[in-house]
Protein backbone atom coordinates (compact mmCIF):
# COMPACT_ATOMS: atom_id res chain seq x y z
CA UNK A 1 0.00 0.00 0.00
CA UNK A 2 2.86 2.40 0.77
CA UNK A 3 4.34 1.75 -2.66
CA UNK A 4 1.04 2.95 -4.19
CA UNK A 5 0.42 5.73 -1.67
CA UNK A 6 0.59 8.61 -4.14
CA UNK A 7 -2.28 7.15 -6.22
CA UNK A 8 -4.65 6.70 -3.26
CA UNK A 9 -7.96 8.54 -3.70
CA UNK A 10 -8.72 10.41 -0.47
CA UNK A 11 -12.14 11.44 -1.81
CA UNK A 12 -13.32 7.83 -2.10
CA UNK A 13 -14.94 6.41 1.05
CA UNK A 14 -14.72 2.89 -0.34
CA UNK A 15 -10.97 3.30 -0.91
CA UNK A 16 -10.57 4.00 2.80
CA UNK A 17 -12.66 0.97 3.71
CA UNK A 18 -10.55 -1.25 1.43
CA UNK A 19 -7.37 0.19 2.91
CA UNK A 20 -8.65 -0.39 6.44
CA UNK A 21 -9.62 -3.96 5.69
CA UNK A 22 -6.20 -4.60 4.17
CA UNK A 23 -4.26 -3.62 7.28
CA UNK A 24 -6.41 -4.99 10.12
CA UNK A 25 -7.09 -8.55 11.22
CA UNK A 26 -9.92 -9.95 9.00
CA UNK A 27 -12.04 -10.47 12.12
CA UNK A 28 -12.21 -6.69 12.56
CA UNK A 29 -13.14 -5.71 9.02
CA UNK A 30 -15.65 -2.88 8.61
CA UNK A 31 -18.14 -2.04 5.89
CA UNK A 32 -18.15 1.70 6.57
CA UNK A 33 -17.30 4.38 9.08
CA UNK A 34 -17.58 3.33 12.71
CA UNK A 35 -21.00 3.27 14.35
CA UNK A 36 -19.80 3.08 17.96
CA UNK A 37 -18.26 5.63 20.32
CA UNK A 38 -14.53 4.98 20.70
CA UNK A 39 -11.85 6.50 22.86
CA UNK A 40 -8.21 6.04 23.86
CA UNK A 41 -7.52 5.17 27.47
CA UNK A 42 -5.14 3.50 29.89
CA UNK A 43 -6.25 0.88 32.41
CA UNK A 44 -5.05 1.79 35.89
CA UNK A 45 -4.09 -0.66 38.68
CA UNK A 46 -7.58 -0.35 40.20
CA UNK A 47 -9.03 -1.35 36.79
CA UNK A 48 -10.48 2.09 36.18
CA UNK A 49 -9.89 3.81 32.84
CA UNK A 50 -7.81 6.96 32.47
CA UNK A 51 -9.23 8.49 29.29
CA UNK A 52 -6.71 10.31 27.09
CA UNK A 53 -8.78 10.99 23.97
CA UNK A 54 -12.47 10.94 23.13
CA UNK A 55 -13.35 10.56 19.47
CA UNK A 56 -16.24 12.35 17.77
CA UNK A 57 -19.69 10.86 18.16
CA UNK A 58 -20.30 8.19 15.51
CA UNK A 59 -23.22 10.15 14.06
CA UNK A 60 -20.84 13.06 13.40
CA UNK A 61 -18.21 11.00 11.56
CA UNK A 62 -19.74 11.05 8.02
CA UNK A 63 -20.04 14.85 7.99
CA UNK A 64 -16.58 15.31 9.52
CA UNK A 65 -15.00 12.97 6.97
CA UNK A 66 -16.75 14.76 4.10
CA UNK A 67 -15.34 18.05 5.36
CA UNK A 68 -11.91 16.48 5.81
CA UNK A 69 -11.97 15.19 2.22
CA UNK A 70 -12.85 18.66 0.90
CA UNK A 71 -10.00 20.14 2.94
CA UNK A 72 -7.48 17.68 1.51
CA UNK A 73 -8.57 18.43 -2.04
CA UNK A 74 -8.08 22.16 -1.38
CA UNK A 75 -4.65 21.51 0.12
CA UNK A 76 -3.62 19.56 -2.97
CA UNK A 77 -4.65 22.38 -5.27
CA UNK A 78 -2.96 25.05 -3.15
CA UNK A 79 0.70 25.97 -2.94
CA UNK A 80 0.95 25.10 0.73
CA UNK A 81 4.21 23.68 1.95
CA UNK A 82 4.00 19.85 1.44
CA UNK A 83 5.03 18.93 4.99
CA UNK A 84 2.49 21.34 6.49
CA UNK A 85 -0.20 19.97 4.18
CA UNK A 86 0.73 16.41 5.16
CA UNK A 87 0.51 17.31 8.85
CA UNK A 88 -2.94 18.91 8.50
CA UNK A 89 -4.17 15.95 6.46
CA UNK A 90 -2.82 13.11 8.57
CA UNK A 91 -3.53 14.53 12.01
CA UNK A 92 -6.94 15.82 10.93
CA UNK A 93 -7.82 12.26 9.96
CA UNK A 94 -6.63 10.61 13.16
CA UNK A 95 -8.55 13.14 15.29
CA UNK A 96 -11.78 12.09 13.57
CA UNK A 97 -10.93 8.41 14.19
CA UNK A 98 -13.41 7.14 11.58
CA UNK A 99 -12.72 3.44 12.22
CA UNK A 100 -12.78 1.29 15.33
CA UNK A 101 -9.20 0.17 14.67
CA UNK A 102 -6.33 0.98 12.32
CA UNK A 103 -6.71 4.78 12.48
CA UNK A 104 -3.07 5.31 13.51
CA UNK A 105 -1.73 3.21 10.65
CA UNK A 106 -3.90 4.99 8.09
CA UNK A 107 -2.89 8.32 9.62
CA UNK A 108 0.80 7.50 9.02
CA UNK A 109 -0.04 6.16 5.54
CA UNK A 110 -1.56 9.56 4.72
CA UNK A 111 1.74 11.28 5.55
CA UNK A 112 3.35 9.20 2.78
CA UNK A 113 0.41 9.86 0.47
CA UNK A 114 0.75 13.63 0.75
CA UNK A 115 4.55 13.77 0.57
CA UNK A 116 4.76 11.47 -2.44
CA UNK A 117 1.76 12.96 -4.24
CA UNK A 118 3.13 16.51 -3.90
CA UNK A 119 6.51 15.55 -5.34
CA UNK A 120 8.26 16.22 -2.04
CA UNK A 121 9.47 12.61 -2.08
CA UNK A 122 11.47 11.80 -5.23
CA UNK A 123 9.63 9.48 -7.59
CA UNK A 124 10.24 5.85 -6.67
CA UNK A 125 11.67 6.75 -3.25
CA UNK A 126 9.72 5.97 -0.09
CA UNK A 127 10.84 8.23 2.75
CA UNK A 128 10.41 6.11 5.90
CA UNK A 129 8.88 8.95 7.92
CA UNK A 130 6.45 6.62 9.69
CA UNK A 131 9.38 4.56 10.97
CA UNK A 132 10.75 7.66 12.69
CA UNK A 133 7.34 8.35 14.23
CA UNK A 134 7.15 4.85 15.67
CA UNK A 135 10.77 4.75 16.83
CA UNK A 136 10.16 7.59 19.29
CA UNK A 137 6.71 6.78 20.62
CA UNK A 138 7.09 9.21 23.51
CA UNK A 139 7.43 12.23 21.20
CA UNK A 140 4.61 10.86 19.02
CA UNK A 141 2.29 10.45 22.01
CA UNK A 142 3.22 13.90 23.35
CA UNK A 143 2.25 15.66 20.15
CA UNK A 144 -1.05 13.77 20.02
CA UNK A 145 -1.72 14.76 23.63
CA UNK A 146 -1.32 18.43 22.64
CA UNK A 147 -4.65 18.15 20.87
CA UNK A 148 -6.49 15.56 22.94
CA UNK A 149 -5.68 17.36 26.19
CA UNK A 150 -6.97 20.65 24.79
CA UNK A 151 -10.46 19.32 23.96
CA UNK A 152 -11.01 16.82 26.78
CA UNK A 153 -12.23 19.43 29.31
CA UNK A 154 -15.06 20.35 26.93
CA UNK A 155 -16.42 16.82 26.51
CA UNK A 156 -18.98 15.38 28.90
CA UNK A 157 -18.70 11.60 28.92
CA UNK A 158 -19.54 8.58 31.07
CA UNK A 159 -18.47 4.93 31.05
CA UNK A 160 -20.78 2.06 31.95
CA UNK A 161 -19.74 -1.19 33.63
CA UNK A 162 -18.66 -2.66 30.28
CA UNK A 163 -16.43 0.38 29.63
CA UNK A 164 -18.76 1.60 26.90
CA UNK A 165 -18.66 5.36 26.55
CA UNK A 166 -21.51 7.78 26.12
CA UNK A 167 -20.80 11.40 25.12
CA UNK A 168 -23.54 13.63 26.55
CA UNK A 169 -22.91 17.00 24.87
CA UNK A 170 -22.40 18.32 21.37
CA UNK A 171 -18.72 18.09 20.44
CA UNK A 172 -18.53 18.10 16.64
CA UNK A 173 -16.95 21.56 16.35
CA UNK A 174 -14.02 20.48 18.54
CA UNK A 175 -12.84 18.30 15.65
CA UNK A 176 -13.48 20.66 12.74
CA UNK A 177 -10.76 23.22 13.38
CA UNK A 178 -7.45 22.82 15.16
CA UNK A 179 -4.12 24.60 15.23
CA UNK A 180 -1.87 22.43 13.07
CA UNK A 181 1.31 24.34 13.93
CA UNK A 182 2.72 21.88 16.51
CA UNK A 183 1.91 18.95 14.23
CA UNK A 184 3.68 20.53 11.26
CA UNK A 185 6.70 21.26 13.48
CA UNK A 186 6.69 17.66 14.71
CA UNK A 187 6.41 16.25 11.20
CA UNK A 188 9.27 18.47 10.01
CA UNK A 189 11.40 16.99 12.79
CA UNK A 190 10.49 13.48 11.59
CA UNK A 191 11.35 14.33 7.98
CA UNK A 192 14.66 15.82 9.08
CA UNK A 193 15.48 12.69 11.10
CA UNK A 194 14.48 10.53 8.11
CA UNK A 195 16.93 12.33 5.84
CA UNK A 196 19.79 12.48 8.34
CA UNK A 197 19.56 8.93 9.64
CA UNK A 198 17.10 6.55 7.99
CA UNK A 199 17.70 7.46 4.35
CA UNK A 200 21.45 7.40 4.93
CA UNK A 201 21.17 3.93 6.48
CA UNK A 202 18.98 2.76 3.59
CA UNK A 203 21.48 3.97 1.00
CA UNK A 204 24.25 2.22 2.92
CA UNK A 205 22.26 -1.00 3.01
CA UNK A 206 21.56 -0.87 -0.73
CA UNK A 207 25.24 -0.31 -1.52
CA UNK A 208 26.21 -3.34 0.58
CA UNK A 209 23.38 -5.43 -0.80
CA UNK A 210 24.26 -4.76 -4.44
CA UNK A 211 27.95 -5.56 -3.90
CA UNK A 212 27.16 -8.68 -1.86
CA UNK A 213 24.72 -9.90 -4.49
CA UNK A 214 27.34 -9.59 -7.23
CA UNK A 215 29.89 -11.55 -5.20
CA UNK A 216 27.31 -14.20 -4.32
CA UNK A 217 26.54 -14.80 -7.99
CA UNK A 218 30.26 -15.13 -8.67
CA UNK A 219 30.45 -17.95 -6.10
CA UNK A 220 27.27 -19.75 -7.20
CA UNK A 221 25.45 -19.05 -10.46
CA UNK A 222 21.96 -19.16 -8.94
CA UNK A 223 18.67 -17.42 -9.80
CA UNK A 224 18.69 -13.74 -8.84
CA UNK A 225 15.65 -14.11 -6.62
CA UNK A 226 17.24 -16.92 -4.63
CA UNK A 227 20.50 -15.03 -4.34
CA UNK A 228 18.71 -11.88 -3.19
CA UNK A 229 16.87 -13.80 -0.49
CA UNK A 230 20.08 -15.44 0.70
CA UNK A 231 21.98 -12.15 0.91
CA UNK A 232 19.12 -10.45 2.73
CA UNK A 233 18.90 -13.24 5.31
CA UNK A 234 22.66 -13.13 5.91
CA UNK A 235 22.65 -9.34 6.33
CA UNK A 236 19.69 -9.51 8.70
CA UNK A 237 21.57 -12.04 10.85
CA UNK A 238 24.78 -9.98 11.11
CA UNK A 239 26.79 -11.84 8.48
CA UNK A 240 25.72 -15.47 8.91
CA UNK A 241 22.83 -17.59 7.72
CA UNK A 242 20.90 -18.78 10.77
CA UNK A 243 20.41 -22.48 11.28
CA UNK A 244 16.66 -22.01 11.12
CA UNK A 245 16.98 -20.56 7.59
CA UNK A 246 19.59 -23.03 6.30
CA UNK A 247 16.87 -25.45 5.17
CA UNK A 248 15.59 -22.90 2.66
CA UNK A 249 18.72 -23.52 0.55
CA UNK A 250 19.12 -27.32 0.37
CA UNK A 251 20.81 -27.09 -3.04
CA UNK A 252 23.83 -25.24 -1.64
CA UNK A 253 26.82 -26.97 -0.06
CA UNK A 254 28.01 -25.91 3.39
CA UNK A 255 31.26 -24.62 1.95
CA UNK A 256 29.34 -22.53 -0.59
CA UNK A 257 27.23 -21.01 2.20
CA UNK A 258 30.40 -20.26 4.17
CA UNK A 259 32.01 -18.57 1.15
CA UNK A 260 28.92 -16.45 0.53
CA UNK A 261 28.76 -15.46 4.20
CA UNK A 262 32.38 -14.36 4.00
CA UNK A 263 31.69 -12.35 0.86
CA UNK A 264 28.72 -10.60 2.46
CA UNK A 265 30.72 -9.74 5.58
CA UNK A 266 33.55 -8.46 3.41
CA UNK A 267 31.21 -6.10 1.55
CA UNK A 268 29.80 -4.81 4.85
CA UNK A 269 33.30 -4.17 6.24
CA UNK A 270 34.46 -2.40 3.08
CA UNK A 271 31.57 0.06 3.26
CA UNK A 272 31.54 0.43 7.02
CA UNK A 273 27.93 -0.79 7.13
CA UNK A 274 26.74 -2.23 10.45
Question: Do 130 and 13 belong together in one domain?
Answer: yes
Is 132 a member of any domain?
Answer: yes
Is residue 189 situated within a structural domain? Answer: no
Does one domain contain both 134 and 236?
Answer: no
Clarify whether residues 171 and 261 are in a common domain.
no
* pLDDT tens track for 103-122: 999 999 999 999 988 888 77
Q: What is the pLDDT of residues 190-222, one digit of tens each?
A: 998 888 887 676 667 777 888 899 999 999 999
- In this prediction, the residues of the chain whose per-residue pLDDT falls under 50 are none
- For the stretch 127-142, pLDDT in tens is 778 888 888 889 999 9
Residue 44, in any domain of the structure = yes
Q: What's the domain count of the chain?
A: 2
Q: Clarify whether residues 130 and 173 are in a common domain.
A: yes
Quote the pLDDT of residue 236.
Answer: 85
Domain check: are 140 and 261 in the same one? no
Please indicate, yes or no, whether residues 173 and 223 belong to a single structural domain of this protein. Answer: no
Residues 41, 127, single domain; the answer is yes
Burial 59-91 (b: 16+ CB within 10 A, else e): ebbeebbebbbebbeebeeeeeebbbbbbbbbb
Structural domain range at position 253 = 201-271
- pLDDT for the residue numbered 133: 87
The predicted pLDDT at position 274 comes to 59
- The reply to whether 252 and 135 lie within a common domain is no
Residues 239 and 151 in one domain: no
CATH of the domain at 87: 1.10.3290.10
Within a domain: 187: no
Amino acid sequence: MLARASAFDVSDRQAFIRLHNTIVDPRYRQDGWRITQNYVSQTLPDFSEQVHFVSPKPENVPDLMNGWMRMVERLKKSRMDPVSAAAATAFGFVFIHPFDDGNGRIHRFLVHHMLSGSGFSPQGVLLPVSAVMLRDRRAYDQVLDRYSGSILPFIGWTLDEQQRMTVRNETVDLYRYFDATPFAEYLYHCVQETLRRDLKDEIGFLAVFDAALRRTLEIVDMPDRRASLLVRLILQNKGTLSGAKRGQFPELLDEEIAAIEGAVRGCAEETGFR
